[in-house]
Each structure stands twice: as structure tokens, then as C-alpha cells.
Amino acid sequence: MGTIFSVGPGSKGDRTPSYSIHLPFTLSPDRTLKLEEGFGSFELLGRQWEVQGEEPKYFLRIRSFDSEGAAATFFERVQAGFYWVGLNSSFGFRFSANVVPVVLFDQPTPVSEESPFAPIANKRGWSEIDGHYEASQTAIVPEHKRLTVFSAGSVRARMDMPLSLFAERMSAGMSAERPELVSRSRKLRLACEVFFSSHFESTPTASFLTRITTMEILAADIEASTPTQKLVSQFVADAQNAKIEHKKDVEVLRDFESLISRLNYLRNRSIKSGIRELLADKLKTDPEIKEPAEVAKEVSRLYDLRSALVHTGEVEPKSIENANNRLQDIVPRILRVLYREAADGP
């Protein structure tokens, strides 16, 4: 493995107005895209897509947008496509959804023969440079500007996922009615990103905790029954009265404030219940799941395993390994169902 620091041409610079999406992404350890000599391309949704790089870093370029706004709108669909690829593959992606503006100079900077940018300018036929951006940051690139791009990173060579399969799954995710709605759903985006990060963890225990956390993110708050709500209100009132009686004792006051806060959480059913109900309901649409209710109960038990692990640290490694493998199958299933629901639009 080596580290590379370089600067290169970052745009066409042909003065013909057009924009492109520059999206760097990383695959989880030991996973790569299979590219010929570090480069591959395909057509999708009427656009030319180019991928270059080597494990662990890749750079996606989607070209020929008439405006920055058109590129930004399409980028929301691309994000959704990445989520779909990840949910249908045995590895994760990391990429930034935050578009960083390209740095444009107030005035074009002349390039002299002594300039370190001279080889780039000469190759492109430029006499001036208009700005620059970082290869490691997502950007909407004005291709008609004369731009340089700075990069730094580690390079290792392995082969894994064919680019054709990447394109096929990207197409499937982006061909939904409104995939951009997936990118706009903060909760679903967060759940996908947390699940993908589980592929980057170095131990089954860390991976298991990340995957069960994904289920926590997805679980909806469900109000407890009316009798339970009334009982909680009674407990809170009692705690408020006791707090007044001990108002001169600062430490006791803090204890009561903490108690009241915890009691208020009991107005909703437990996270475990939320996870169970979510799975039992949503997995009905997965044709491969014959008994959604049983799967929901199974994940509830895995949540108990998470609680034991977090609070005692004493859980059999084999139990964690089995639980982690089970969640590797179940979590992307529920995420795919929620993806389809969101992408179908209201």
C-alpha cells in the first residue's frame, strides 16, 4: 500500500457550458469494483457514468448536465441508487451527501512555464486556471471552467464486484418512481448509512451493535395504552411532589429530575416493541419471508442480546456471531421494503 499526493486536470475546460457530478466513494474492507486498469464506464438513464480508482477509493463522474441545478437534482437520485446497491450487496458504501462548492477564483490565474500546474495546462491547452476542488469531496463540477483537482489517498489492488453488476443494481434503485424521496427521508438515510458502516467494523461484536442500532433508528415511537399512560402520569405527579419536598437538596433534586425524565419515556412502548411491530408489519411484503411475526420475535430476542452485551459485556462470542449473521440478512430486507415505500412516493 502506498500514499499518493497529486494534482491533475479536474474538468474539460472547453468553455462549452456543462456540469458534471463528482462523487468519491469507498467500499468496505476487502471489497472492490472490478475495473479494467482502474477505469470503467456505462450508460444509465441517458447519462455517461465513469468510475475510476482502486480499492479502497473510487471516483464516480456523471456528465452532461445543462445546469448546476439539474445536476443537483439528479444527485438525489444517485444517492438513492447507492443505497439500493448497498442493500442488495454483501458490503457497504461510504460517500458524502454534502456537496462542497468548487473554489472559483475571482479572476483566472495565468499559468507560467515555471508553474507546477504547467504540465496540466499545457496538456489541456490552457493558459489560465479558473479554480480547483478536492477529489475527496462531492462536487458539482462546471466542466466549462478550467479546474484542477487535488487528491491524496491510499491505493491497494484487489478485485471483487463487476462494474456491470454495480450498474445493474444502480439502475434498479434509480428506476423507481421517485427515488429522490429516499434521499430526502432523514431517518431512512441515517438507517442505511449506519447499516453500511457495519461492514467497516473490525469485529463481529461491533458489527452486531451497529446493525441492531439500525433497527433502533427505524423503530417508530408507539404510545402506551391509556391505563399505562394514566399510571405514568400518576408516577410523574408523585415525583414532582417529592421534588418540591426536597428542593433544598441539590443532589436529590437532580435525582428526581432524572427520574421524571425516565418516567416520561414510559409514555411510549419500548424500542424492542417498536422493532417487533415494524418487522411484523413491513416484512409481509417480502415474498421470501413466510412468517414475518416469527422473524419479528427473533429480532426482539436479538435486541435482548444487545442489552446483555451493553450492560454486562458477558455474551458468548458464538451467540454474537450468529446474531450478526442473522441481522446481515434481516436488516437489508426491511430497508429494501422501506426504500420501495419511500421511492413510490405519496
What whole-number percentage of the chain has pLDDT above 90?
A: 58
In this prediction, residue 203 carries a pLDDT of 86
Q: What is the pLDDT of residues 285-296, one digit of tens each?
A: 999 999 999 999
Please report which confidence band the pLDDT of residue 155 belongs to, taking 50, 70 and 90 as the band edges.
very low
Grid cell listed for 28: 468496505
**Distance of alpha carbon 237 from alpha carbon 242, whole angstroms:** 9
In this prediction, residue 1 carries a pLDDT of 39
Q: What is the pLDDT of residues 241-294, one digit of tens each?
A: 888 888 778 888 888 788 888 777 667 677 888 999 999 999 999 999 999 999
Please report which confidence band the pLDDT of residue 152 belongs to, taking 50, 70 and 90 as the band edges.
low
Burial class (CB in 10 A: 0-12, 13-18, 19+), 137: middle
Highest mean pLDDT among 143-147, 150-154, 223-227, 300-304: 143-147
Residue 156 pLDDT greater than 50, yes or no: no
Residue 202 dihedral angles phi and psi, to the nearest 5°? -90, -10
Average pLDDT over residues 217-245: 80
CA-wise closest residue to 145 among 124, 130, 125: 130
Residue 24 pLDDT greater than 70, yes or no: yes
In this prediction, residue 254 carries a pLDDT of 86
Please report which confidence band the pLDDT of residue 153 belongs to, taking 50, 70 and 90 as the band edges.
low
Q: What is the pLDDT of residues 318-329, one digit of tens each?
A: 899 899 999 999
Ranges assigned E (strand) in the chain: 2-9, 19-27, 33-34, 39-44, 47-54, 57-65, 93-95, 103-110, 128-134, 139-142, 147-155, 161-162
For the entire predicted model, the pTM comes to: 0.72
The more confident residue out of 97 and 114 is 97
Residue 76 pLDDT greater than 70, yes or no: yes
Please report which confidence band the pLDDT of residue 159 belongs to, taking 50, 70 and 90 as the band edges.
very low
In this prediction, residue 158 carries a pLDDT of 42
Please report which confidence band the pLDDT of residue 66 belongs to, taking 50, 70 and 90 as the band edges.
very high
Grid cell listed for 331: 436488516
Residue 3 pLDDT greater than 60, yes or no: no
Contact 292, 177 (CB under 8 A): no
Grid cell listed for 55: 480499492
Count CB neighbours of 346 within 10 A.
5
pLDDT averaged over every residue in the chain: 88
